Amino acid sequence: MKFHHLHLKARDPEQTADWYGRAFGFTITEKIRRPAGDLFIACKTADGTTVVISGEKTGETLAPGSASTRFGLEHFAVASDDFDRDLAHLKSLGAAVLDAPVTTPTGIRFAFVQGPDDVRIELMYFPKA
C-alpha cells in the first residue's frame, strides 16, 4: 500500500483551495462539480502529494470542524526552511496561532496554526546538521 491523498471538506472549496495555494504553493489539477452536487477540487503540493478539497453534497450537512487536539486525524505538518518567515506568512493569511512556537533542545522548532475550516496545521523546522 502507498499513501494516495488527503481530503479536506470546506465551507467554500474555491476559497480554501486559494488559501492553500497562497500558504503552501498548492496547484489546482482538477475542478469539477460532481453529480452529488459538491464542488471537487484536486490539488498537488510542491512535493506531489494530492490534496482534495470539496464542499457539502446536495442535502448534506457537515458537522463543524475542530482545530483542537483530538482522536482521529489530529493535524498535518509541513516542513519549513525559514520558520519565522513562514509563520509570519501564515499569520498574514489569517491563520491563528494555536500553540506558541516551541524550540526543542536539538533546535527543532514547531508551532500549530488554525487553517480554513478549523484544520490544525503544524509548521516545523529541522536544523541542518
45 and 11 fall within a common domain: yes
116: three-class secondary structure by DSSP: helix
Dihedral, 125, 49, 120, 74 alpha carbons, nearest 10? -100
Give domain status of residue 59, yes or no: no
Give domain status of residue 90, yes or no: yes
Above 90 in pLDDT, residue 129? no
Per cent of the chain over pLDDT 90 is 93
9 and 40 fall within a common domain: yes
11-51 pLDDT per residue, tens: 999 999 999 999 999 999 999 999 999 999 999 999 999 99
The number of folded domains in the chain is 2
Tell me the β-bridge partners of 53: 8, 41
What pLDDT was estimated at residue 105? 96
Residue 71: pLDDT band with limits 50, 70, 90 = confident
> For residues 126 and 117, is the Cβ–Cβ distance under 8 A?
no
CATH of the domain at 16: 3.10.180.10
Above 90 in pLDDT, residue 7? yes
Distance CA 55, CA 72 (A): 20
> For residues 44 and 88, is the Cβ–Cβ distance under 8 A?
no
Within 40-121, residue ranges assigned H as helices are 83-92
4: three-class secondary structure by DSSP: coil
What pLDDT was estimated at residue 119? 96
